[in-house]
Amino acid sequence: AMPLKLQRHLVLIGPMASGKSTLGQHFATQHGLTFIDTDRRIVAKHGTIPSIFATQGEHGFREIEAREVAAVLSAADEPSVVSLGGGAILDTGTQQLLESCVVVFLDADLETVRPRIVRDTGRPLLAGDAVERWQEMSRRRRPTYLKLADHVLVTRGKSQQDLVEELSAML
């Protein structure tokens, strides 16, 4: 694919397991861009997400997350491809920083994410009935995803390459 020059950070948002990190990585690789996964940076500094939730609760995790996202989005680095955790958009500071980014909402439905979330132990907020909890959370957050998004990318039935091409055509 063609090298691409971004004017602003390209940020992927959307519910858990919607494929933000996978698509971000593929898209960045194909276009010769830097890819940043904020959850991966949090884990590198603070340990696994389940361990952060266990010791500091969701509240502690959100503080760490907001700080990490702000560090990435407000740095004067070259515009990059950035994937956020599903709940990062709940923070109002993050919402403000997203105003100066190109924001893409990865709109995944339950059937697409189902195989990825059943028996998932890496996402504490899905403990118990993962399907029920995923549905409830994505329904509740959906208005926020839509409000923040410059583009909506529906993922159902699409291959990774389809998604890369559709995303490329949006910019």
The site that binds ligand S3P (CB under 6 A) totals a number of residues, namely: 11
Cβ atoms 168, 4 nearer than 8 A? yes
Token digits of residue 140: 């509740």
At a CB cut-off of 8 Å and minimum separation 6, what does 93 contact? Answer: 66, 70
Choosing from 85, 102, 149, 167, the residue that interacts with ligand S3P (CB under 6 A) is 85
Q: Is 160 helix (H, G, I), strand (E, B) or coil?
A: helix
Is position 16 an interface residue for ligand S3P (rule: CB under 6 A)? yes
Phi, psi of 109 (to 5 degrees): -100, 170
CA–CA distances in Å: residue 69 to residues 34, 148, 168: 16, 15, 24
Is position 12 an interface residue for ligand S3P (rule: CB under 6 A)? no
Cα–Cα distance for residue pair 35/93, rounded to 1 Å: 22
**Residue 130, annotated ligand binder?**
no
R_g of the chain, CA atoms, integer Å: 15
Closest CB 108 distance from ligand S3P, rounded Å: 10
Site string for ligand S3P, 18-37 (x = CB under 6 A): --x-----------------
**Residue 17, annotated ligand binder?**
yes
Instruction: Considering the complex, state which of residue 1 and residue 110 has its C-beta at the smaller distance from ligand S3P.
Output: 110
Name the segment binding ligand S3P (CB under 6 A); options: 98-106, 121-129, 143-151, 162-170: 121-129
Binding residues: 17-22, 39, 62, 86, 123, 141
Binding residues for substrate: 39, 62, 86, 141
Q: Which residues bind ligand S3P (CB under 6 A)?
A: 16-17, 20, 39, 49, 85-87, 123-125
